[in-house]
Amino acid sequence: MKPYTIFLYHKKFLSLKKFINIILFSINLIGGKEQDINIELNRFTLDKENNDINILKINELENEIIQIKNDKNILLKRIKNLEDLVKAQNNELEKLKYIVKEQKNITEKLNNLEIAFNEEKYKIGKMNNLEKELKEQKREIEKIKNWKNEYNSELEEMKAIKINNISLNKIDSKIINKKEELEFLENRLKNDELLRKKNIIYKLLYRASEDGNNIKTFHNKCDNIKGTLTIIKTTKGMRFGGYTEQMWNGSENGSQRKDGKGICFCFSLDLFKIYNFNNQYGYSIYCSYYYGPYFSGGDGSFFYINNNNGFLFGNNNYTKKGNSFGNVDNDYEINNGQSDFSVVELEVFQILFDNW
């Protein structure tokens, strides 16, 4: 076996780079061998004329040179093929490097996306927590609003009670219990422009539940006093009364009296309604030993208290047409349509006007 062909036999065990280096080394060996053969051939050629024996040797050397050149060409072709293969592999390697680089970029992008996703996930979690906190705060705000509304409602109620009590402090009444009711009466009592600038003083003259439930006591306490306000509460809860500037008198025979125009009136606290006396018809009140407060019209009674069992029985008797107290829409309307009533409380106040 020729020395330069050893690598061919074992090339399958070598790397491509080493394989190429060995081929190049073999070519160098071949070149050196060819040079040595040429030298030897020249030597034999010089001796040809003197030594025919060397002719065979020369031919053999020439054939070996031809073989060497053929092997050299084969090796060069193989080197060219190997160089092309190396170039192709380098191209594939560059592609592989590019793919690896792209994969690294993609991996980096994926990592960045994962980081961004985790950040967004954290933000969403934080927003969910904030939303929960916001809902909780809204619930707390609603509670506070409810408490505030309840507090304001209680405050308004307390203010109303306080204002009501302050207003009602002006009158010592067990029948009137709202400031609006007192204002309703005062607006009518101050029917004159001069009176609107004055303060009303309510002087309690008589209260049936405290002073005695009888006609005699009523006349003892209320007779001969000018300007009295009578307020009645029935056993069924109806509240009404009347005002007159005429003086009550308990004479046995009885007497009718007449107020001036626009002075005497009756009223319903439940209906917030005023019934003014029209002095064109009859008399405004009737005074008698047998009766308590008696507001009378020209052709009938508006209401009165008689002496049967003290004040526990009263009669509300009037007619709609022709009565001296106007603004009546329905018969007996101040007593909820009933002609008779029983008294549970009766109060009489003297009305005094004073400068503010």
DSSP summary character for residue 273: E
pLDDT above 80 for 238:
yes
Tell me the three state secondary structure of residue 229.
strand
Total-model pTM: 0.54
Tell me the three state secondary structure of residue 242.
strand
Residue 292 CB neighbour total at 10 angstroms:
28
pLDDT above 80 for 9:
no
pLDDT 10s digits, 294-352: 988 555 678 888 765 566 666 665 655 456 777 888 888 888 988 888 889 999 999 99
Provide the pLDDT for residue 8.
41
Provide the pLDDT for residue 248.
95
How is the beta sheet containing 343-355 ordered, strand by strand? 198-207, 343-355, 228-234, 239-244, 265-268, 273-276
Provide the pLDDT for residue 127.
81
Mean pLDDT computed over 186-208: 88
Is residue 317 within 8 A of residue 161, CB to CB? The reply is no
Tell me the three state secondary structure of residue 223.
strand
For the ranges 52-66, 149-163, 203-217, 278-292, the maximum mean pLDDT occurs at 203-217
Provide the pLDDT for residue 176.
95
Is residue 311 within 8 A of residue 292, CB to CB? The reply is yes
Q: Which of the two residues, 258 and 21, has the higher pLDDT score?
A: 258
Residue 252 CB neighbour total at 10 angstroms:
7
Say what angle helices 179-189 and 54-168 make with each other, to 10 degrees.
Answer: 50
Confidence of residue 278 (pLDDT cuts 50, 70, 90): confident
